[in-house]
Structure formats: C-alpha cells, structure tokens
Chain A
Amino acid sequence: MREDDSGPASDASSPPRRVSRRSFLAASATGAITGLAGCSSLNLTSDETGDSSGSENATVADRPDAVYYPTHVDGMLLSGVRKANGYACALTYTMPHAFWLVTGERATRAGPTADDEIHVMPVVWDAETGQRLTDLNPVLRFRDGGRVLTSDAPWPMLAQQMGFHFGDNVALPGGGTYDVTLRVGAPAARHTGALATPDSATFDFSLAYSPKELDAISYRTLDQAGERGAVEPMDMTAVPSAALPKPDALPGRLLGTGTAGDAAVVATVLDDATRFGGDDSDVYLAVSPRTPYNRYPLPMAGLDARVGGTTHDLRETIDGELGHHYGAAIGGDVEDAPVTVSVDVPPQVSRHEGYETAFLDTPRVTLGE
C-alpha cells in the first residue's frame, strides 16, 4: 500500500497500528515521486487588469445560435510545462468560470460554486508535431504533502482565446502550493503519422497560487458581446497553436470547403491511405470540421460521408500533418463524386462562452460538386 494513497482515516483514537516491513518497503519505493519544486507562474496575456468582481459569469441576454463574442475575456497563468512519453503538457489556470457541458444535443450551463478556487486548464500536445491532443481525458490529483486532497478530471473544452484544452473549476482549501499529478491514459481517437501513442503518461507539477494573484489576472469586457464573431486566439509562447491548417495548407487534393450549421467543413483526399489502415488501392478521405474564424477542431462528433452511393463512417483521428479530423479509407477514388458529410452527433466538447449555442445540431454539407 502506498502511503500517499492510503486514504482511509487515521486518528489518534483508532487502534494502534504497526507498519509492516512490506508496506514500509512499498511506501519507500514510490515515495520518491514528488512534484518538481520551484515553479514560477507566468502571466500569459498582456491585457490590462480590470475589476472582475462577479462578472466572469455573466452571459449575453440575446445570444445567436452561432459563434458569438463573449461578454469578456480573461487572462491566465502558467504553472509549468512538462514532457513525458512523447507528450508535452502545460498546466494553466485562471479564476473560476462558467462553462457548458454537452450531452447529446443538449448544452447545460455549469456555473462555479462557492467552493471553487481556480479553473484549471491543462493543455496536452504531441511533443514532436505540436498537435494539440483532444482525446485524452486527463485526471489531476491535488496533494498537500503526501495526502491526496482531491481528484479532478477536467472536461475536454473549447474557448475562443485558448482553443482546445481541458478545463474545470476545482474546490481547494485555499491559496498555497499543491503538488499536482496529471495522468492521461490511452488516446480515444486514432493517432497517425508521427504522432506518439503511449498507453499512458504522467506529469508532475507544483501549483502555487494565491487569491491576490488570481484577483490580478487580467480581465477585459468586450463591446461586441453577443455579436457574431470570435475573439482572436491568444499568443501562447509556451504552447503550440490550437488552430488547424488553413484549407489550402492541408496535404492532399482539396475537395472543397463548406459550412454545416456554424462549422466550417473542409475535405481533402490523400492518395496514400496506408498510414490510416487502408490498402494500396485505397484513397483517404479526411474531413476537417472547424470553428469559424479561429479554425479550432470540433472533437467528439459523430460524422459519416456519402460517396458515390456508399456511406462511410468517419473515424476521429489526429495526424501529424492533417491535425484533428475525421477520416475513412475508401476504395477507388472520389474524383468525380461529390461527398456529402453528415453530422450524426454534434461535437460533445464542452464550451466556454461564445461557443455554447453553436455546433449543437446535426446538419449535412455536400463538398466537391
């Protein structure tokens, strides 16, 4: 048994217990794994500090069913960047936030509670290609000394400035320094090309924050709040870009670009499908739905494509060159046939303000006509 995970209560009035040699050795063997000390937080944004009292949870009264400018944008802080097993991970955080969870075709608002201290926003990417990984569902354990205070599995989430990340509000006892272990398991999507595919990876951080530091995080209200559009991506020097390639920068033969609901949909055909599980005579159809304006991926959707009378399930894939997309190896070619892409299940990714009313329907779009 490991001391740090022993969990169950120990109290002066409980029966005396001796530590056996075996459990002592087990504790010693794993006790050396502790967080890396000496983190310094970096403010990643240059906005002026404003009064954010309570208004970080405001929403626009009359929201379009489309991507729109949120009421405000916040700054964020970086606890550190770690690498393990071919992945890299940045642990960023800010003040607690409202966000929306998506279950099927419903988006429900999750407001912060009085217990929440911070909004954690880990970002995980493939260390070699820089592709942000949307499919890992990390678990964070917060420790104070050796004891696990709490666990949290942040949601896969989309925000206008930050793009794809994992995010959640976390209840902690208060400002201080916490050892945070972040673990990811096997990816849910297919990883292809140069992308790493470890079965798991663990990153150790030391997260130090104070209420004063959180209060000083920049906050800017937006005059365009509620209008269609999106805030520009922030420049995060420590973290690779969240944007997908522009259509003409995608490899392969571009079939076309269309819109499905509020999403931009780009399709390209690669002559070589072998790295996607196809055989020599197959081509590979890659469909890349993305947010308008900022070209962020829309993960965890159910898509199929109808080509020449046959319907193909599109498999969620992250590739070193194509980035996040949905694809299928197809026999023959798609040269003369239009491709009709149907969204069967909307992207189940959680959303920050400005994305929660978009991408909730199940449209279709025909490309290459």
Chain B
Amino acid sequence: MSDGPSRGIDRRAFMKSALAIGGASALSACLDRTSDEDVPRGTTETDPSSLPERQHAWNDALARDDAGNPEPVQHRLLLLLDYDGDGAPSDADRRTVADALDALERAYAWRHDGLLSTMAYSPAYFDRFETDLPESVDLPAPTALASFEDPALDTPDAILHLASDHAHVLLAVEQALTGETDALNGVSVDATLTDVFSVAQRRTGFKGDGHPADNQDARGVPTSKPVPDDAPLYMGFKSGYTETQASEDRVTIESGPFAGGTTQHASHMRLNLEQWYEQDDREARVGKMFCPYHAEHDVVEGAGDNLGTDAAMSKAKPAAEAAETDGFVGHSQKMFGLREDGRPLILRRDFDSTDGGHAGLHFVCYQRAISEFVATREAMNGDDLAGDSPLGRRDNNGILQYIDVANRGNYLVPPRSLRALPTPRGDA
C-alpha cells in the first residue's frame, strides 16, 4: 500500500464501511488495516469508582475543539435488543447483562478513544412488569411528532448506544456481546449479552470532520459528491456548540429511583442531499440551517468553526418575525425561543449513517423528560409559523424539507448501577 496522501482517507472510509457491514471478517479486515489497535484499557478493576454513575456523562471523556466545544465521538453502533424471556426478567439474566456490560469497561477506558456507552430501556420493556414507572420518569411510547411524518415506531426492549473513535473497538465489542469471542483488548469476557437478548436491529454511523465526505456512495447523495471535505455532518455544518446543547446536569433525572439517569430519544431519518446541495445554494443553506441574518451577512465560514460556542445565534431575530419579513426561517432560529437559561433542553449525540443504503441521520438525544424532546421537536415543526406566514409546513421552514423521519423510539437510561434489566421501581 502506498503511503501517499490518499492513504488516510482510504483507511477512514474502509473503517466506516467495515462497521456498517459488521461481523468477524469485517473486524479482522479492519485490524489488518489499522495501526492504532493499542486502545487504552479500563481502570474499573483497580478503581471501580472511576466510572460516572450517570451513563450519559460523556463530556469529561471527550476531546475538545479550539473553541472548547466537545468533539463528537467518531464511530457509533446502536443495538436494538429484544429480551428473549417472557414477562419480567429473571435475576440470572440480570447478572448476565451486568457482567456482559462490565466486561466492556474492564476492556476499554471510558474515553472517546476507548469506549463510551449508554444502555437504555423502552416503555415496551417496562410493560413486562406489574408495577408502573414512578412519576419521576416521563417515558411515553413513541409517536409521530408531526402530521406530515409517518415513522415506524420502534419497540425493542432495550437499546445499547456504543461510541468510540476506533471502528474496530465497536466491531470487537459486538463480537464479545454476541459470544463470538471471549477476550476483549486482553481482558477475559465471561458473559454473553445475546444469551439474554436478541439483536433486533443494528444501526451504525459516524460523525466528525471528513467522515461524511468519505461516505457519499449512498442513495440521497448526488454522484457529484457535494459534501464538503471538512464537514462533520452530511448537511455541511457542525452542530454541537456548547451553548446549543443542554448540560449533562440539565438532562439528568433529579429524583426517584432513577435519579442520575436520563431519557433517550432515537430517531432515524433519511436526508435529501440533492435538494440541499444541488438545488439550494449556500446562501439558502446557511439561511435555512441558522437564520436569514447569517445568510445575508455571510456569518458562517465553512462548517461553522468560526461561530464560537453559540453559533452566533444572538444575531437572529425571533423566528416569527423572520417568517413575516424574510419569508423563511432557520432551523437554529426556531429552536432559540425554547432555550432555558440560555441553553436548549436536550443534549444531542446524533450521528450520520448509510444504513439502508441511504444517507441518513440517527438523531440520538438525551433529556430529563421525553416531553422536553417533544417540545423541542414542536419548535422545530414551527406549526404556528406555517399557519400564519408565507412559510410552508416544511418548505422554507428550517430544514424540515430535507428530512423524512423513518423511525422513532423512546427509552429510559437508568443510572449505571441500575443498567442491567431494571425493575420499574429500581429495586433489583
């Protein structure tokens, strides 16, 4: 293999497709091509308290960009899991799940270049029990969240979100969880997650500068391959500014048996990048992603790395005013009115994907209550704006035009100590 400048890109693209394919041969091919197999091992054996009780406490374990914003973890795997047993789970199964998940953290450090995860449970899972979840947990079944969308409503029992900057780590973890290997990064694995669960679906993806550009061989992306080389997401702009995210504290459940936990929404949407790149121009893209002011004044450079920690949203006029006077509104602009103490209600950990052979986005986010996600999505829908202005329901209404929501699911992320097959009262 040549050591020329294209080598890195080839390898990066290969790692992503290997993760999308999955399995032992993909892992082996991945390891053959990688030089970074030396991944830091976990410290839980020597220091069990080194892991945060909040499963969603990733921020301290992430890299930072020049402005101090957390960098996204580059490779992702979502496993949708169906519990094989009937009714409420057994204590034996609970031990198996606990051991299988504990093994991952013995094997890999809780870091972006090691392994980060959340294990979460659906309303369908809690229906297995006679008792209900306490009022301190807001976890309705998923529904469509706009009249124009028609998502499949996901009802697995659980969802395991795995994240690492190394694709081969996720492939190896999957091998261990499914009993295909009994050693992980030199650590022995004694329990198999799939002795208890069946994998109903696996979803994969990527995020970070250059990854979307490397992955344009998918439906929904024009063959002109228009995604900029430095874009962290398919739509060309970065998203995770510190001030455009809720803090981990803000999304944490504060009381009741699941205090320290959070809720998770996971949707999958197809993206129409032909309309976005080949039909709209950059001025329209900036205006519809951020706000008309940013488009008119050329505020956004490249992917938006020049926008500090707040996407410069103080420049945006209220969405209703933009709708009346500009004729279109930006996505960020619509969300601005929902902020609390200057920040949104939800913590995005979304990523792009080629699942189904189509360019898409897995919108994974965390919030204290699912109702706060619903409120956020309602702000994004802009129904009140569309009803009384030149905006359409989707057209000129942020980025709704370019998105087709294919799946939605809601989950409870318990605190780490309850992450193995919890009961609704957190007493097992």
Taking beta carbons and an 8 Å cutoff, which residues of A are in contact with B?
A: 1-2, 4-9, 11, 13-15, 17-20, 22-23, 26, 101-106, 108, 110-111, 113-116, 135-137, 139, 141, 147-153, 155-156, 168-169, 171, 183-190, 199-200, 202, 300-302, 313, 315-316, 344-348
Cα–Cα, bound, A22→B194 (Å): 17
| A199 & B147 in contact (Cβ 8 Å cutoff) | yes
Cα–Cα, bound, A149→B29 (Å): 29
Residue from the list A103, A168, A200 in contact with B284, Cβ < 8 A: A103
* Closest residue on chain B to residue A147 by CB atoms: B356
| 24 contacts across the A-B interface (CB closer than 8 A) | A7-B268, A9-B202, A14-B23, A19-B200, A22-B124, A103-B280, A103-B288, A103-B396, A135-B393, A137-B148, A139-B148, A141-B404, A152-B272, A153-B402, A169-B274, A184-B148, A185-B146, A185-B149, A185-B393, A187-B393, A200-B147, A300-B327, A302-B324, A348-B327
Assuming the contacts A199-B147, A300-B391, asked whether A101 and B327 have C-beta atoms less than 8 A apart, the reply is no
Chain A residues in 8 Å Cβ range of B22: 11, 13-15
Residue from the list B147, B178, B283, B404 in contact with A185, Cβ < 8 A: B147
* Closest residue on chain A to residue B324 by CB atoms: A302
| B389 & A302 in contact (Cβ 8 Å cutoff) | yes
Q: Binary interface profile of B, 355-383, with partner A (CB < 8 Å = 1, else 0)?
A: 11110100000000000000000000001
A114: min CB distance to chain B, Å: 6
Chain A residues in 8 Å Cβ range of B328: 103-104, 348
| A14 & B393 in contact (Cβ 8 Å cutoff) | no
Q: Does B215 contact A (CB under 8 A)?
A: no
Chain A residues in 8 Å Cβ range of B355: 7-9
B389: min CB distance to chain A, Å: 6
* Most chain A Cβ neighbours within 10 Å, of B24, B146, B152, B180: B152
Residue from the list B80, B82, B358, B401 in contact with A153, Cβ < 8 A: B401
Chain A residues in 8 Å Cβ range of B204: 8-9
B128: min CB distance to chain A, Å: 11
* Closest residue on chain B to residue A15 by CB atoms: B178
Assuming the contacts A7-B356, A20-B198, A150-B220, asked whether A26 and B155 have C-beta atoms less than 8 A apart, the reply is yes
| A110 & B287 in contact (Cβ 8 Å cutoff) | no
Chain A residues in 8 Å Cβ range of B201: 1, 6, 8, 17
| A15 & B23 in contact (Cβ 8 Å cutoff) | yes
Cα–Cα, bound, A345→B51 (Å): 55
Q: Binary interface profile of B, 405-418, with partner A (CB < 8 Å = 1, else 0)?
A: 01100000000000
Q: Binary interface profile of B, 196-209, with partner A (CB < 8 Å = 1, else 0)?
A: 00111111100000
B380: min CB distance to chain A, Å: 14
Interface of B is mostly: mixed
| A11 & B23 in contact (Cβ 8 Å cutoff) | yes
Q: Identify 16 new A-B residue pairs, CB closer than 8 A, beyond the known A22-B155, A186-B147, A300-B392.
A: A1-B200, A11-B21, A13-B25, A17-B198, A103-B288, A108-B280, A114-B224, A137-B393, A137-B395, A150-B270, A188-B392, A300-B327, A302-B325, A316-B390, A345-B390, A348-B391
Q: Does B257 contact A (CB under 8 A)?
A: no
Q: Does B278 contact A (CB under 8 A)?
A: yes
| A17 & B200 in contact (Cβ 8 Å cutoff) | yes
Q: Which of B1-57 contact A (CB under 8 A)?
A: 20-26
Chain B residues in 8 Å Cβ range of A18: 198
Q: Which of B260-275 contact A (CB under 8 A)?
A: 268, 270, 272, 274-275
Interface size, chain B (Cβ < 8 Å): 79
Chain B residues in 8 Å Cβ range of A110: 278-280
| A1 & B23 in contact (Cβ 8 Å cutoff) | no
| A148 & B406 in contact (Cβ 8 Å cutoff) | yes
Q: Does B72 contact A (CB under 8 A)?
A: no
Cα–Cα, bound, A141→B220 (Å): 12
Cα–Cα, bound, A110→B178 (Å): 48
A26: min CB distance to chain B, Å: 7
* Closest residue on chain B to residue A202 by CB atoms: B150
Taking beta carbons and an 8 Å cutoff, which residues of B are in contact with A?
A: 20-26, 80, 82, 124, 146-152, 154-156, 174, 178, 180, 194, 198-204, 219-220, 222-224, 268, 270, 272, 274-275, 278-281, 283-284, 287-288, 292, 324-328, 353-358, 360, 383, 386-396, 401-402, 404, 406-407
Residue from the list A22, A113, A190 in contact with B223, Cβ < 8 A: A113
* Most chain A Cβ neighbours within 10 Å, of B20, B202, B203, B392: B392
Chain B residues in 8 Å Cβ range of A6: 152, 201, 356
* Closest residue on chain A to residue B80 by CB atoms: A1
Chain A residues in 8 Å Cβ range of B288: 103
Cα–Cα, bound, A253→B388 (Å): 26
| A348 & B148 in contact (Cβ 8 Å cutoff) | no
Cα–Cα, bound, A3→B223 (Å): 28
| B406 & A103 in contact (Cβ 8 Å cutoff) | no
Chain A residues in 8 Å Cβ range of B358: 7, 148-150
| A5 & B407 in contact (Cβ 8 Å cutoff) | yes
Chain B residues in 8 Å Cβ range of A200: 147-148
Cα–Cα, bound, A237→B359 (Å): 39
Cα–Cα, bound, A346→B204 (Å): 43
Chain A residues in 8 Å Cβ range of B147: 185-186, 199-200
Cα–Cα, bound, A47→B152 (Å): 44
| A17 & B279 in contact (Cβ 8 Å cutoff) | no
| B150 & A115 in contact (Cβ 8 Å cutoff) | no
Chain B residues in 8 Å Cβ range of A316: 390
Chain A residues in 8 Å Cβ range of B391: 188, 300, 348
* Closest residue on chain B to residue A199 by CB atoms: B147
| A300 & B395 in contact (Cβ 8 Å cutoff) | yes
A29: min CB distance to chain B, Å: 11
Cα–Cα, bound, A248→B224 (Å): 52
Chain A residues in 8 Å Cβ range of B353: 8
* Closest residue on chain B to residue A187 by CB atoms: B393
Assuming the contacts A14-B202, A185-B393, asked whether A5 and B406 have C-beta atoms less than 8 A apart, the reply is yes
| A1 & B407 in contact (Cβ 8 Å cutoff) | yes
Chain A residues in 8 Å Cβ range of B389: 302, 345
Chain A residues in 8 Å Cβ range of B388: 313, 315
| A8 & B268 in contact (Cβ 8 Å cutoff) | yes
Residue from the list A1, A150, A168, A302 in contact with B327, Cβ < 8 A: A302
| A2 & B26 in contact (Cβ 8 Å cutoff) | no
| A156 & B23 in contact (Cβ 8 Å cutoff) | no
Cα–Cα, bound, A301→B358 (Å): 34
